[in-house]
Structure 1
């Protein structure tokens, strides 16, 4: 025999409620998500990240390649020696067997040596340059143009030598009295140092001795040369320099 049992009254109410929930869930599945008015449904929707749209990059067109320009040639500068020799040819300077650059370079070297060992050379730098200028017919013109190019540090000394206003030093020799580079101008001269067996003399135009002296041992000797003297001779006296 079959027994039909009925649920108690309270159980019937719970079964009804369960059926109602199942029906509601079925409706949700069938009809889709609830509308945006439902706060519980809107929360997960708002949490979705908004897709970021990258800005479009402008297209870069390849610029045309410019043809490389030819380099500008650097102007070559004429060496000072060549410029001096060109001037020598243009002016027709008479320097015997020297070119202008050779003649001036020798004068520059002579000035350097004189400045380095003045007592040994026995000349002042202007005197050495003056002697060099006087050694050739066009020597002064070549030095005037060439010294500023090849040894500009001696330009002032050259100016003195060409003007004739420079110190003349006297070493062992016989000199004529005068104002040319190869002569000794009148004036007072002095030699100093360890002097031994020094002989000097002043002579007149007829060869007579005006004055002379012999010093076996001395530290200083002073001599005055007059404009009327003809020559002055020095032997073993060292270097005589002007007294100013």
Structure 2
């Protein structure tokens, strides 16, 4: 990922930052560090498509659609990230809507399971693949994923 520097020429977003030498501005938001600096949305979006998608999924709610008003080319990726999610236990349909999802990158030892009423309806362990896929059904109560990374609706 590229390094980012503040740009006063546009409306800035504020990101929390531990070390300006690090790359991946959106990663700073979840580190909970003390200092902050401004980075404009277009500059933060210079990451490649998949890296940007991952950053937006992992930091959902930190970048709003209005933040990208000067960068309309990134709106489709932002919109796609809104239905994405990371590893963890997710309530259906509150956190994850029924539909088919795929990981944003290669996986190794990726496990997912769909649950209802405390029982596993379906599960899979993918030991190595270019991606993993799961279809969340109407009536599922939870989806649990571990070691899979980020998921996006297909």
Instruction: Report the TM-score when normalising by structure 1.
Output: 0.37
Is structure 2 residue 120 aligned with structure 1 residue 212? no
Query: Does the 8 Å CA contact 2:41/2:68 hold for their aligned counterparts?
Result: no
Q: Compare CA radii of gyration and give the structure with the larger one.
A: 1
Q: Which runs of 5+ in 2 are unaligned?
A: 1-10, 13-36
Q: 2: distance between equivalents of 1:112 and 1:186?
A: 34
Query: Does the 8 Å CA contact 1:191/1:240 hold for their aligned counterparts?
Result: yes
For residues 129-148 of structure 1, the aligned pairs below 5 Å read: 131-132=61-62, 147=66
Query: Does the 8 Å CA contact 1:203/1:230 hold for their aligned counterparts?
Result: yes
Q: 2: distance between equivalents of 1:238 and 1:228?
A: 24
Aligned partner of 1:170 in structure 2 is: 85
Cα 1:114–1:200 shift into 2, 3 Å? farther
Query: Does the 8 Å CA contact 1:187/1:242 hold for their aligned counterparts?
Result: yes
Is structure 2 residue 114 aligned with structure 1 residue 202? yes
- Displacement of 1:219 after TM fit? 2.3
Q: Which runs of 5+ in 1 are unaligned?
A: 1-79, 82-105, 134-142
Q: 1: distance between equivalents of 2:118 and 2:153?
A: 24
- Displacement of 1:198 after TM fit? 0.7
More helix by share: 1
Q: 2: distance between equivalents of 1:196 and 1:217?
A: 4
For residues 24-39 of structure 1, the aligned pairs below 5 Å read: none
Query: Does the 8 Å CA contact 1:177/1:230 hold for their aligned counterparts?
Result: yes
Q: 1:222 aligns with which of 133, 136, 141?
A: 133
Runs of 4+ in 1 over 3 A off after TM superposition: 108-115, 154-157
For residues 51-200 of structure 1, the aligned pairs below 5 Å read: 113=44, 116=47, 117-121=51-55, 123=57, 128=60, 131-132=61-62, 147=66, 152-153=69-70, 157=75, 167-178=82-93, 183-191=95-103, 193-200=105-112
Q: 1: distance between equivalents of 2:81 and 2:105?
A: 23
More strand by share: 2
- Displacement of 1:224 after TM fit? 0.5
- Displacement of 1:221 after TM fit? 2.1
Is structure 2 residue 143 aligned with structure 1 residue 232? yes
Cα 1:119–1:152 shift into 2, 3 Å? closer
- Displacement of 1:176 after TM fit? 1.1
